A and B are shown apart, each in its own frame.
Chain A
Amino acid sequence: DGGITQSPKYLFRKEGQNVTLSCEQNLNHDAMYWYRQDPGQGLRLIYYSQIVNDFQKGDIAEGYSVSREKKESFPLTVTSAQKNPTAFYLCASSGSSGAQETQYFGPGTRLLVL
Chain B
Amino acid sequence: KQEVTQIPAALSVPEGENLVLNCSFTDSAIYNLQWFRQDPGKGLTSLLLIQSSQREQTSGRLNASLDKSSGRSTLYIAASQPGDSATYLCAVFYQGGSEKLVFGKGTKLTVNP
Chain A's closest residue to B105 (CB) is A42
Give the CA-CA distance A45 to B98 in the complex, in Å. Answer: 11
Q: Assess A98 versus B93: contact at CB under 8 Å? Given A40-B105, A107-B43.
A: yes
- Chain B, interface residues (CB within 8 Å), range: 20 to 34
Determine how close the nearest CB of chain B comes to the CB of A43; give it in whole angstroms. 4
Q: Is B89 an interface residue (CB 8 A)?
A: yes
Which residue of the partner chain, among A6, A98, A108, contacts B99 with CB atoms under 8 Å? A98
Interface hub of A6, A43, A48, A110 (most chain B Cβ within 10 A): A43
Interface hub of A33, A45, A97, A99 (most chain B Cβ within 10 A): A99
Interface size on A, residues (CB 8 A): 29
Q: Determine whether the beta carbon of A100 is less than 8 Å from that of B43.
A: no
Q: Assess A103 versus B99: contact at CB under 8 Å? Given A42-B4, A90-B44, A108-B41.
A: no
Determine how close the nearest CB of chain B comes to the CB of A106; give it in whole angstroms. 5
In the complex, chain A residues whose CB is within 8 Å of the CB of B41: 88, 108, 110
Q: Determine whether the beta carbon of A41 is less than 8 Å from that of B43.
A: no
- Chain B, residues 38-70, CB within 8 Å of chain A (1/0): the string is 000111111001010000000000000000000
- Chain B, residues 76-89, CB within 8 Å of chain A (1/0): the string is 00000000000001
User: Measuring CB to CB, which residues of chain B are less than 8 angstroms from any residue of chain A?
Assistant: 4, 31-32, 34, 36, 41-46, 49, 51, 89, 91, 93, 99-106
User: Measuring CB to CB, which residues of chain A are less than 8 angstroms from any residue of chain B?
Assistant: 4, 6, 33, 40-45, 48, 50, 56, 58-59, 88, 90, 92, 97-100, 102-108, 110
